[in-house]
Structure 1
Amino acid sequence: MPHLTDLVRAAVERNPGRRVLVYCAGLETLDELEAAAGTGRCRVLDLDGDLTGAPSPEESVAEVLLLAQTPTDVRRAASMQALLPSSSRTVVAVAETPHWYTAPVLSPTPAHRWRALTELRVHRAGASTWVVDARFSKPAPAGRTLAATARAFAGYRLDVVAAPVAGLAGPGAAHWRPGDPNAAPADVAGPVPDRFGARGGDLVLRTTDSDPEPWEGEEIPVERPLAELVSWERLGRPGGEEILRNGLADLSDPRAVPPVDDRSVNPMGFVTVPALDMADLSLDSDRWAITCEGRTLTRFAASGCVTDVDVSRIRQVRGVRVDWGRSHTGPVAALRVVTGLAAAGVPLVCDAVPAWAGALGEELTRLLTSVPEAGLADDLEREEHSIRLRREALRTHGVRTRWEQLGAPSAPAPLTSVLLATRRPEMVGFALEQVGRQRGAELEVILALHGVPAGHPEVASALASFDRPVTVFEAEGRTVFGAVLNEAAARASGSYLLKMDDDDWYGPDFLSDLILAHSYSGAEVVGTVPEFVYLASIGVTVHREQITEQITNFIAGGTIFAERSAFEAVGGFRPLPGTIDAQFQHAVQAAGGQIYRTHGLGYILRRGNVTGHTWREPIGTFLRRNKRQWRGFRPNALMELPVEAS
């Protein structure tokens, strides 16, 4: 960590005789930093460790440094930002970042809290180290700069977990609530400090040993074991079995495992055509590591916390064989590694899952053994397996889900309004059938009949057999398409809007996958590309080469999923007869919004006569850059549709 030690030395040199505090997150050892700090008034503290006796956040010091190994570690540190004191200079440095991360340029919001800022510098120190250096005219809370840096790495989205305020007490408690600057840190014995005249936390989580101190607050904390308490070494001592029996670490329950930071460790950056062969997750000294072709690609932290950097290092492997026989530092840490890799969509396989790994959950356990290693040789089957793994891991082991499992109130499912405009009464039944297939999401349909009477027999028949909420209105035939969709949006009541086409196929998890991608990407608009296209005129299905799971400029018009607030902010669709999808996406990006492209395995574009489409690409466009093609209608397995040979 040469760049980090240089930062510490520089801080000590420019503050002779004054207090400098160095907070760390995710670093394997602090020895080099402590040596750089010297024996003067510079102190090094581990935010993942015991902070008893740490300086009060009410104090002021000359300078605060926050040194983290990865952006994932910065997000975890941000949950402890309320513990940092004020300083006239705050430096946040991240030793390693994935290649797709851009510069963490801070957005100083809310503005009135940044009036003392006099200088802000963001720069690289080495190939992958980012440094944020903020100076103030008077001492300002250092945690504010830390939280803003975490937001900058996350694309400036609102960086908070939608649940009651979480109280965090004990060493490593932030592992249970990463990326939440609204969290309320507390002493290990409590209580959670009051906040604006009210109790500081609604649900308190405390990490403890087997003989915890009495809790001084009014709350009854949810108690979870310290990491060292559930290490193989500790469990192997006399009395170790009692730790598992007393409920503090029930390895059959997902609540025994800290959640995956799903806004940091997720499918972003998934590679559909990997360059490397199979890799192994096996023991390297006392840690699990992933090795491939004789090289160690990454070695996991003792805690089992998987980071975005770990994931980026292994994106090019075809799959990972899990060696449970010689697992990580302890059972909980091992489960963290597996759930983190699964949430990232890393294709994992194993022959059997040990009985002690029940906290994975039944479905994730089944998926790990559902595909043989040979099945990953096919790129499409590999991606199908990846998508099934990531869905289950993110929905079972994500932060929000874990806190609901621990006792936080469940968030209401958001309502999505499907905007469906058509000029073809004969397609209404098919289109509503595609909407009706959607599962795992709350929806309503706004059916815009564009020059078609609502009493048309085919329309009436389709509506009679549709059992989801639907609003029907007639738009005049001369009204341009963009205006028709805006009229539909005006009648919608959902928090999200989804534009669907009347002749394309949609898998049953299409909408729920978009909602999931919106959650982990933070983008205002989400969709996919026409990776699979059925060329109806020649009876051929093509699988096109596309790059997915990334921030992008373009998604298919029939897959546009948008936050209602973003849709309204740009004025909806332009009142044009065509090109409205590209126009809308350009407007969102011009306004500072982001578009995310998720996987394309839940959508098949139907291409017939070009005169029947607003997007009039010739058929030759869809025959180029193909991975493969099939005669007849050939949906992938995730579409859950029958294959029809021509």
Structure 2
Amino acid sequence: MLVRMARRLRRRLLRRAARAARRFRDRLARLRRATVRVVDQETVAVSRVGGIGWRARPLNSDGPAYLILPTRLTIVLPDAAWLVRLAGAGVLTGKINELKLRLGTSPEWLAVGLQPFQVIRTTRKVLWRRHRGGLEVEFHWSKPYDVHRALASATSAVLRTRLWDQTSGPVYALDKTAWSDGTSSWPQGHLVAERPASKADPLGRPLGPYQVPAQPAGGSGGKPPPIVTAVANPYGRRLVGTATRYQLVVGADSTRSELRDETGRVAMSLDPRSAEAAVLSSRIEKYSVVAIDSPIRNGTFLGHAVRTLAGCGVVFSAADASVRSALVELGVVVVADPKEVHDLRGYALSVEAARRMAVTGDAALRRTPLSGGSLPLPTVSVLLSSMRAEHVEGCLSYLAQQTYPAMEVVVGLHGYDVSEQTHERWHDMLDGRVRVVSVSSDLTLGMVLGRLTRIADGELVTKVDDDDHYGPGHVTDLLIAWHTTGADVTAKGSRFVHFPDLDQTIDRAWAAPEVFNVTPAGGSLLLSRSTLQRIGGWSHSSRHVDTDLLTRVKSAGGLVYRTHGLEYVYVRRATGHTWTTETEQLIAQAEQTYPGLPVDVLRPEYPLTPQV
């Protein structure tokens, strides 16, 4: 009897001890977990004990980073743009074994073309899944992993981040200087013509032909925080007809605001935690004009929201001059009458809105010569192969007017040569940034392009056709689209087609949408040398070289993006084309016809100096 009682007591005590041990382990596990969530546009809250004891951490704080020492870190954010800002702010430090990321909004187009993220030796588990319009990502490591490296892995798992070939822009998740100031992580130098005064630098290393700039890219200089152009860009914009009109209705506290259409229906509610999340979760038209009645200042949530919308191509209107003046200070395109945003004039206004915000708002681009800075831009080599000597000089005149500063031209004269005087004239037209070679007529177009690519020095190459028309911002537009979308190939579409024999230009508006993996114009392809090398270079076929290249890019998992069609006009003559579509078929696709070659298509009058 006593033995049985002793056994029962022992089992009861063991059960109690086991329950106590489980409770202790659960409490210990809670102490080893941390959670990060958003408070407002510029602040996160961090808790080490599963939701108890939240501490606010401003992203722009100059104080020390918050030390994370738990096993598991959970981050709950509205969208991928917030992850970029968090990673670049440098407010978290320490080591973790698990990272769980939840994004409230993540449309499918943001994840198109994501490359497989890095799986290191200590990676135990990776989970990536969609959940109710958002995204969940988990990483598990067998050994403690640096928080900043974990955030970098998470960023590459949800967003196509662009690091420039050789001259990288800001590297996410290193420090806030790289993100806010746009400083380069690569000690890129400039090629100098003169022999350096010293043979070695202060550390005794021999100096080569590339010297680090004497005046590196400076600090933020009072500029507003960068916008995440991988999210705030014109993807999906359709420049057709009259822009959709919206009205910005500002709430009593200036944060709870809405965009309403002409019927009064709410088209978008601005979430005070993230302007990008509001844009991603709404279905507003990016080719639109938003009317504003009261001034909006820089440094406010609404100011950031307006700049984010401008990055998507949205134009703003205000009847009051003081409101327009305040909007001009934000760097957006503003008009007095919303009726102005219509047809070709409206297209130009929307294009300038997105271009201006990319150049002045993107963390890397706003520190480059495009915006008056000194951060080196990727160099672009323009490849021109021509069998028609009479067209070369006209094409070179277009290239000489390009606004992109880091550009050279490589010309292949296919089956002929020109006089020395012509060589000199072309050299003078482009201030020496041109090289001309004569190649045999026995070579196919693909062979010629391959030879020109080997001669070229640019990190990016773009192909032009000798008889097409190009506006001054053509190369700049391609570079901006390549950088902001993360696509492997960017190009313009054959939307505007000119028929010299008929002296008219048609608008094929069906080619207007700016989206991925649609057919672009072969005379405007831009891609990096690394992409070209990865897919095997140019085809040696004499026909369909562009189609072959695009097919291989897509087959290799790459992305092709078609940007807007302004400043590029495809020329269709009666003969001499590898594109075999009949002229009558092309004319039948016209939704609008313009006499001659419209100046508003080739050289739009952009609002370079906003009028107040």
Q: Tell me which interval the TM-score lies in, with the shorter structure as reference length.
A: 0.7 to 0.9
Aligned counterpart in structure 2 of residue 321 of structure 1, from 273, 290, 305: 290
**Residue matched to 2:199:** none
Deviations 1:253-272 (A, max 9, x none): x8342222223212222233
* Mapped pair 1:576 → 2:569: no
Superposition pairs of residues 105-144 of structure 1, within 5 angstroms? 107-109=116-118, 111=119, 114-126=120-132, 128-144=133-149
Q: Using the TM superposition, give the Cα deviation of residue 482 of structure 1 relative to its aligned residue in structure 2, in angstroms.
A: 0.6
CA drift of 1:274 comes to 8.5
Deviates more, 1:508-517 or 1:541-550: 541-550
Query: Following TM superposition, by how much is the alpha carbon of 1:401 offset from its aligned partner in structure 2, in angstroms?
Result: 5.1
Alignment partner of 1:430 out of 390, 394, 408: 394
Q: Which amino acid aligns with 1:140?
A: Y
SS in 2 for 1:123: strand
Letter in 2 for 1:280: Q
| Matched-pair contact (CA < 8 Å) for 2:106–2:280 | no
- CA apart distance, 1:389: 1.6
Q: Specify the alignment match of 2:230 in structure 1.
A: 263
CA distance in 2, matches of 1:447, 1:424: 12
How many angstroms does 1:13 deviate by? 7.5
Match of 1:100 in 2: 109
Amino acid at match of 1:20: R
Give the CA RMSD over aligned residues. Answer: 4.2
Shift of 1:278: 1.1
Distance 1:297 1:392 in 2: 25
Residue 554 (structure 1) aligned with residue 519 (structure 2)? yes
Q: Distance in 1 between matches of 2:86 and 2:586?
A: 47
Contact 2:386 2:412 (8 Å CA) reproduced: yes
Distance in 2, matches of 1:106 and 1:520, equals: 16
- Partner residue, 2:470: 506
More displaced 10-residue stretch of structure 1: 147-156 or 576-585: 147-156
Which amino acid in 1 is paired with 2:169? A
How far off its partner does 1:616 sit? 2.1
State the distance in 1 between where 2:594 and 2:319 align. Answer: 32
Counterpart of 2:195 in structure 1 is none
Other-structure match for 1:62:
71
CA distance in 2, matches of 1:412, 1:384: 27
The percentage of counterpart residues that share the same residue type is 21
Contact (CA 8 Å) 1:105, 1:122: kept in 2 or not?
Answer: no
Counting only pairs closer than 5 Å after superposition, residues 409-488 of structure 1 correspond to structure 2 as 410-455=374-419, 467-488=431-452
2:334 pairs with one of 368, 376, 379: 368
Q: Which residue identity does 2:306 align to in structure 1?
A: V
Structure 2: 5+ residue stretches without partners: 1-24, 187-217, 606-612
- Residue 149 of structure 1 deviates from its aligned partner by 2.3
1:300 maps to which residue? 270
CA distance in 2, matches of 1:321, 1:354: 16
Preserved CA contact (<8 Å) 1:26 1:70: no
Kept after mapping to 2: 8 A contact 1:528/1:548: no
- The answer to whether the 8 Å contact 2:267/2:284 transfers is no
Instruction: Summarize the Cα distance change of 1:180–1:333 in structure 2 as closer, same or farther, 3 Å threshold.
Output: farther
Q: Where does 1:309-388 land on structure 2 (aligned, <5 Å)?
A: 309-310=278-279, 313=282, 315-316=284-285, 319-325=288-294, 327=296, 332-352=300-320, 354=322, 360=328, 364=331, 367-369=333-335, 372-376=337-341, 378-388=342-352
- Cα deviation for residue 30 of structure 1 reads 11
Q: Greater RCO between the two (CA within 8 Å, min separation 6)?
A: 2
Q: Aligned partners of 1:341 and 1:22: how far apart in 2?
A: 30
- 2:169 aligned with 1:162: yes
Q: Tell me the SS of whatever aligns to 2:110.
A: coil
Amino acid of the residue matched to residue 134 of structure 1?
F
SS in 1 for 2:222: helix
Alpha-carbon offset, residue 443 of structure 1 = 2.2
**SS of corresponding position for 2:109:** coil
Deviation readout 1:96-132 (Å, 9 max, x if unpaired): 12342337978443x5xx2222221112222x11101
Partner of 2:351: helix, strand, or coil?
helix
Give the deviation of 1:33 after TM superposition: 11
Q: Is the 8 A contact 1:604 1:635 kept in 2?
A: no
Superposition deviation, residue 572 in structure 1:
2.0
Cα deviation for residue 448 of structure 1 reads 0.8
CA-CA distance at 1:480 after TM superposition: 1.0
Q: How far apart are 1:395 and its partner, in Å?
A: 1.6
Q: Is the 8 A contact 2:474 2:567 kept in 1?
A: yes
Paired residues in the alignment total: 544
> More deviation in 486-495 or 274-283?
274-283
Q: For 1:29 and 1:399, how far apart are their aligned partners in 2?
A: 16
What is the TM-score normalised by the length of structure 1?
A: 0.73
Say yes or no: does 1:23 pair with 2:36. yes
CA pair 15-600 structure 1, distance change in 2 beyond 3 A: farther
Q: Distance in 1 between matches of 2:414 and 2:112?
A: 46
1:290 maps to which residue? Answer: 259
Q: Distance in 2 between matches of 1:440 and 1:26?
A: 40
